[in-house]
Amino acid sequence: MASFLMNNCFGKSLKNVWCGASVYRYFSKTATSTHLDFDYDGPSMKTTVPGPHSQDLLKQLGDIQNVGAINFFCNYEKSRGNYLVDVDDNRMLDLYTQISSIPIGYNHPALLKLMSNPNNMSTFVNRPALGILPPHNFPDKITQSLLSVAPSGMTRVQTMACGSCSNENAYKAMFIWYRNKERGKNTPSNEDISTCMINQAPGCPDLSILSFMGAFHGRTMGCLATTHSKSIHKLDVPSFDWPIAPFPRLQYPLEEFTRENGQEEARCLEEVEDLIVKWRQRGKPVAGIVIEPIQAEGGDNHASPDFFRSLRNIARKHGCAFHVDEVQTGGGSTGKFWAHEHWGMDDPADIVSFSKKLLTGGYYHKDELQADKPYRIFNTWMGDPSKNLFLLEVLNVIRRENLLEQVTHSGKALLDGLQELQVQYPGILSCARGQGTFCAIDVCDDETRNSILLKTRDKGVLLGGCGDRSIRFRPALIFKEYHVHLFLNIFNDVLAQFK
Ligand SMILES: Cc1ncc(COP(=O)(O)O)c(C=O)c1O
């Protein structure tokens, strides 16, 4: 029913008009018929979600694993473009994209073609131990893919398997760099070598990494010490005594609260410097500062380019490495390939980590953060060359189809629409915010947020939650203005039920 009404709406040339007395309805702009040739033309729902087939599979898997987090089971053969199809044949417009990790939609023809090319078969079939036995084309492929989008000032990249593993190794690289700097040479003492084997200083030094309240950097032990988004991630796991600074709590829209937000950011920066000094006095110097350009899992919290520029300067002043975690923000969804490009800096960071939309994990780093000896940063796979092949093709599609421009355009339509909806539903929605299509909005409380997410899903749109009561929007880069209006209409229908 929803999609039928919407198709009728799209036939008319109405520009963001509200109408209807009892049920408010958001009429989108005309959807110019620029469908992607591999996309569907709208959601199609056969059951509520999870449907019966998903529920059967849930029981089956429940005998093997904890399935508490599973939403439903998917049919990835049938999924296309912006649409995820489930095992009950429900077709949903996906604005969450596997936790923000699908760059150019499901079953993109360019990627399918790559799979069917016989020259690529050996790369898919034989996963190498990259650190010792890389394939002949690895330097070329990594140069054409990852290095072609290297952040400013960085010519080196280390691939890894996932986001946490990338951050975990980036932290190690910062500690190794810091200790070599302290020693004034790369050669460890005999005492360093003997004490590290029993987890004691000086071999295992009391160094720290400064992170921010609300941050999410992953769930492995080191990363978890810098993750402060939700207690469920951290409970019962021993951690390090490392400094945690407040992340600015800004008021939105940012342009209306520049003075107040500036004061809040100054407060947080002051606290950062205090913590760096305090931890040095405690004998646990801060070797690195880690931060997300937009705190994602922690609630889509923004800070200004000025804040990040000042923070970068503080890191430099105190001799700490500056690590920008672009695992969620990287890959184009903010309208620039890296979110930190919005800060307008030539030397934005010492380390930039990535994963998700880049398909392979890893981190870029300055030359001096290269570990001095083999096996210090190492694991069996150290990434996967087949993912570099996919990434290369993804980058070709992004460039060929000007997807970053499209993201900026769709993102503006999305944010405008969300801002209109928050005016329409002031008791429910607030704080619409975003950069590109990397948008979010707050809901009055956690329970209403979760209920909105489920009702929207039953109407054929997938969204994600973040923070205590926010909804995050993470569509693929092929999400066009047409899809924005499709989504806004359905979202409005759902919100009307809460009014
Ligand atoms: C900013 C950030 N860093 C790190 C991670 C961890 O990545 P992964 O889940 O691949 O370990 C995430 C995951 O959501 C993230 O958003």
Instruction: Tell which one of 217, 329, 438 to mutate to probe ligand 1, the residue whose CB is within 8 A of the most ligand atoms.
Output: 217
Q: What is the pTM of this model?
A: 0.93
CA of 32 to the centre of ligand 1 (A): 36
Tell me the mean pLDDT in the region 35-45.
88
CA of 441 to the centre of ligand 1 (A): 21
Q: Is the CB of 363 under 6 A from ligand 1?
A: no
pLDDT band at 37 (very low <50, low <70, confident <90, very high): confident
Model confidence over 186-211: pLDDT tens digits? 799 999 999 999 999 999 999 999 99
Q: Is the pLDDT of residue 21 over 80?
A: no
Percent pLDDT > 70 in the chain is: 93
Cis peptide upstream of residue 253 (ω within 30 degrees of 0): yes
Instruction: Tell which one of 356, 357, 387 to mutate to probe ligand 1, the residue whose CB is within 8 A of the most ligand atoms.
Output: 356
Percent pLDDT > 90 in the chain is: 91
Q: Is the pLDDT of residue 6 over 50?
A: no
CA of 219 to the centre of ligand 1 (A): 8
Which residue, judged by its Cα, is nearest atom 7 of ligand 1? 163
- Identify the helix (H) or strand (E) that includes residue 361: strand 361-365
Mean pLDDT of the chain: 93
**What CA dihedral angle connects 154, 159, 163 and 166, to 10 degrees?**
-70
The C-alpha atoms of residue 351 and residue 170 are separated, in whole angstroms, by 7
**Residues with a known catalytic role:** 216, 325, 356, 380
Main-chain phi, psi angles of 486, to 5 degrees: -60, -50
CA of 218 to the centre of ligand 1 (A): 5
pLDDT band at 185 (very low <50, low <70, confident <90, very high): confident
Model confidence over 331-377: pLDDT tens digits? 999 999 999 999 999 999 999 999 999 999 999 999 999 999 999 99
The C-alpha atoms of residue 275 and residue 273 are separated, in whole angstroms, by 5
pLDDT of residue 451: 98
Tell me the mean pLDDT in the region 416-425.
98
CA of 366 to the centre of ligand 1 (A): 22
Which residue, judged by its Cα, is nearest atom 16 of ligand 1? 328
Indicate which atom in ligand 1 lies nearest the CA of residue 356.
10
Q: Is the CB of 214 under 6 A from ligand 1?
A: no
pLDDT band at 35 (very low <50, low <70, confident <90, very high): low
Tell me the mean pLDDT in the region 90-111.
98
Q: Is the pLDDT of residue 12 over 90?
A: no
Main-chain phi, psi angles of 92, to 5 degrees: -120, 135
pLDDT of residue 186: 78
Q: Is the CB of 168 under 6 A from ligand 1?
A: no
The C-alpha atoms of residue 326 and residue 9 are separated, in whole angstroms, by 38
CA of 56 to the centre of ligand 1 (A): 30
Q: Is the pLDDT of residue 58 over 70?
A: yes
Q: Is the CB of 292 under 6 A from ligand 1?
A: yes
Q: Which tokens go with 494?
A: 């759902």
CA of 166 to the centre of ligand 1 (A): 9
pLDDT of residue 15: 34
Q: Report the DSSP pairing between strands 321-325 and 208-212.
A: unpaired
Structural domains for the chain: 52-108+403-496 (3.90.1150.10), 127-400 (3.40.640.10)
Cα–Cα distance list, 330 to 311, 355, 474 (Å): 20, 8, 12
- Identify the helix (H) or strand (E) that includes residue 412: helix 403-424
Model confidence over 22-31: pLDDT tens digits? 334 555 554 4
Indicate which atom in ligand 1 lies nearest the CA of residue 165.
11
Residue-wise DSSP of 446-494: HHHHHHHHHHHHHTTEE-EEETTTEEEE---TT--HHHHHHHHHHHHHH
Q: Is the CB of 217 under 6 A from ligand 1?
A: yes
pLDDT of residue 22: 33
Q: Is the CB of 444 under 6 A from ligand 1?
A: no
Q: Is the CB of 325 under 6 A from ligand 1?
A: yes
Q: Is the pLDDT of residue 18 over 60?
A: no
Check if the beta carbon of residue 364 is closer than 8 Å to that of residue 136.
no
Q: Is the CB of 233 under 6 A from ligand 1?
A: no
Cα–Cα distance list, 177 to 107, 185, 285, 312, 315 (Å): 42, 10, 13, 17, 14
Beta carbons within 10 angstroms of residue 66's beta carbon: 8
